[in-house]
Amino acid sequence: MIESKLREKKKRLRFTHVYPEPTPEQIRLYYLLNFLDLAITYHGLKDYPQIKEGNALLGENPSLRKMLLHKAIITPLVEQNFNEYQMTVINGALGLALVNNTYVMTKYGAW
């Protein structure tokens, strides 16, 4: 009974049927990639005015608060509503975003 309640609470943001469920490894990677994206983006935006945010929802130079709020809302919604295959795609896209961030940071000597 308690285990069932814990499972229900964990998925309280789910609004669609998800099958097959993403693997625990995919979910961990998803959160790690989001953290790295946030950290690298914040570092670049804070210290290098020539670096701009690429996400149109956030604007060119969002505050840390705005970026954290965006990640806090979007990240768990995606995690709880994407299936295994969709999670593979989103993790790939986040990986490409990190490659791009690394390229931009290197281009402007932001390391």
> Of all residues in the chain, what percent carry a pLDDT higher than 90?
88
Tens digit of pLDDT for each residue in 58-80?
A: 999 999 999 999 999 999 999 99
Residue 19, CA distances (Å) to 16, 23, 81, 86 in order: 10, 11, 10, 10
Its sign, for the CA torsion 3, 80, 38, 103, is: positive
Which parts of 48-110 fold into alpha helices (H)? Answer: 64-81, 84-107
Enter the pTM of the model.
Answer: 0.89
Tens digit of pLDDT for each residue in 3-45?
A: 655 555 578 899 999 999 999 999 999 999 999 999 999 999 9
Q: Distance between the two ends of the chain, CA-based, in angstroms?
A: 51
Under 8 Å between Cβ of 72 and 11: no
Phi, psi of 63 (to 5 degrees): -75, 165
Q: Report how far residue 96's alpha carbon sits from residue 104's, in angstroms, rounded to the nearest whole number.
A: 12
Q: Whole-number mean pLDDT of the chain?
A: 93
Q: What is residue 11's predicted lDDT score, i.e. its pLDDT?
A: 82
